[in-house]
Structures are given as C-alpha cells and as structure tokens.
Structure 1
Amino acid sequence: MARLTPYLSFTDRAREALEFYRSVLGGTVDISTFGSMPGMTDDPAEQELVMHGQLETPGGLVLMASDTPSFMTYVAPTSGVTVALTGGPEDVDGIRAAFTALSDGATDVMPFELAPWGDHYGQLVDRFGISWMFDAGTA
C-alpha cells in the first residue's frame, strides 16, 4: 500500500533536524550524503550535506528530509504545508509529549489543549521553520 510521507527541505540543517525529531519521536535515522554518491558534488563543503535522510519511528511514522547543495534550487517550507501528528484518545499523552519537546525554540505556538470541537489540539512552527499541527481525538 502506498504511503503519504512528509519530505522536508533544508539548506544545510537536515541532519540536525532529523536527529532532533528522532529525540522527540524515537526511532532510527538513516542518512545518505551527497559525498557518498559519486558525481553528485565536487565541492568539499557540500560532501556531508544530506542527499536523503529518513526517520522511521517504532509506531510506523516516517519523516524524510534533505539539504540543498549549490547546484540545486532551495525550496523553503511554505505556510500552506504542515506536518500533522494526529491520533485518538490513546495517543493524547504521546502527542502531548511530542508537542512539548518540539516547542523548544518554537514560535507561533498555540498550546496543546482541549479545543471547542472536543479534540486536544495545538500547533507551532519549530526551531527549523517547519509548521506542525497536533490533534488527538477524545472519542
């Protein structure tokens, strides 16, 4: 079955972001650098940039990311794209923990709390400029 997976773009902080997300969500990070692929870049300063990185969590979440070397055009995260971490009543504590950890250095924080429609809801822009939404149903 196909999966829809967020793929985040950075200028040069993909490794740092993936490691931070791993510290929040758990799991394993796998990284391929531009330098590990022959012919991708001759610039020594770009050898360790992330060509493809992937975080897989124990719960089956997948988050991908890459850096942007000088020969590619950087596409910044847009205000119309948000990474959503959602679940049911059994996930409230885990989602709250992720929200709390991702709040470190975040801006535009809407607290994770009971919303008028009955779910626990919150949102923020993390320290890397990535917009996140958190929702845990109560029924």
Structure 2
Amino acid sequence: MMATLSTYIAFLGNAAEAFTHYQEVLGGELHLMTYGDFPPMEGMPFEPDPASVAHARLDLDGGTITGGDAMPGEDYAIRDTVYSLLYEVDDVDKARELIDKLVAAGGSVNMPFELAPWGSHYGQVFDKFGVMWSFDVAMAEDLGG
C-alpha cells in the first residue's frame, strides 16, 4: 500500500450532515460508519452514541477528506483561519461553481475568488459548518497551457 495523507476533521456532533453536504457539493464516494455499526467495544473510555459518526471518508478526484464526531467532552472552535482545506482545481468556472454551492448552502466568503497578485485565481470560503476552504486555480502557464 502506498502512503497517503488526508485531512481529518472532528465535528461537534454533525459529521454525518457535514459529509453528506460535502458529497452533494463536491461529488465523490462517501463511506460513513457510526458507532452503532460496530460490535460492542469493551474498554472504551466513553459510551459512544450509536448514531455518532465513528469514521467518515469522502474520496474525491485528487484527494480524500476524513473525519467523524468528536469525543464527548471535546468542545472547540471549528471555525478558524489557522487552517483551511486547499482545493486546487484546473478550471476557474468549476472553482466558482463550488464556491457558489458552499455559500448558497449557508457559507460565507472570507476572501473573494479573483486573480491574485501571484497570477493564480484564489479565494476563501467558510462553509456552513465553519470549515474554511481555499480554492486555487493556477495560471495557464503553470497548467501547461
């Protein structure tokens, strides 16, 4: 097996909703397992809600987003600018379409998607769950065009 790297997001009880939304916006193949899907797990430090997401994975062209519901008692801010999911696409119109879908579903623009000083089109959006998405479309020369 080849090593891979993917993003993991611990949601505060709404992972199923978030991953279903991401699949609606981005497409891909969604795999979702709840704690109720597992046999009893003795020795767990907490009693998980059977409906809570133990693990979710959305396989996309070019990457994977993984996550689940946070452990009981974990309470932290998801919305922050210290991180973002950087989605590099090869078409400005496709990037705008994805941004529009995230905003229309309750997200907000953090940085308008436009031609950046370095030559790429770039912008940032917070989705309705507070996750920041950065979109980048490299200039044509970078794409071999």
Gaps of 5+ in 1: none
The aligned residue for residue 9 of structure 1 is: 10
Task: Give 3-state SS (helix, strand or coil) of 1:118's partner.
Answer: coil
| 1:43-102 deviation digits (Å, cap 9, x = unpaired) | 6xx211100001112x232111100242x5345434311110013xx3323222211111
Rg comparison, structure with higher value: 2
Report the count of equivalent residues.
Answer: 133
Relative to the length of structure 1, the TM-score reads: 0.83
Q: How has the CA–CA distance of structure 1 residues 115 and 60 changed in structure 2, closer, same or farther, with 3 Å as cutoff? A: closer
| Counterpart residue type for residue 106 of structure 1 | G
The aligned residue for residue 65 of structure 2 is: 63
- Aligned equivalents of 1:24 and 1:61: distance in 2? 15
User: Aligned-residue CA RMSD in angstroms?
Assistant: 2.0
Structure 1 runs, 4 residues or longer, greater than 4 Å off: 40-43
**Conserved 8 A contact 1:22-1:55:** yes
| 1:10-55 deviation digits (Å, cap 9, x = unpaired) | 1111111111110111011111111222226656xx2111000011
The aligned residue for residue 114 of structure 2 is: 113
Q: How has the CA–CA distance of structure 1 residues 52 and 75 changed in structure 2, closer, same or farther, with 3 Å as cutoff? A: farther
Gaps of 5+ in 2: none
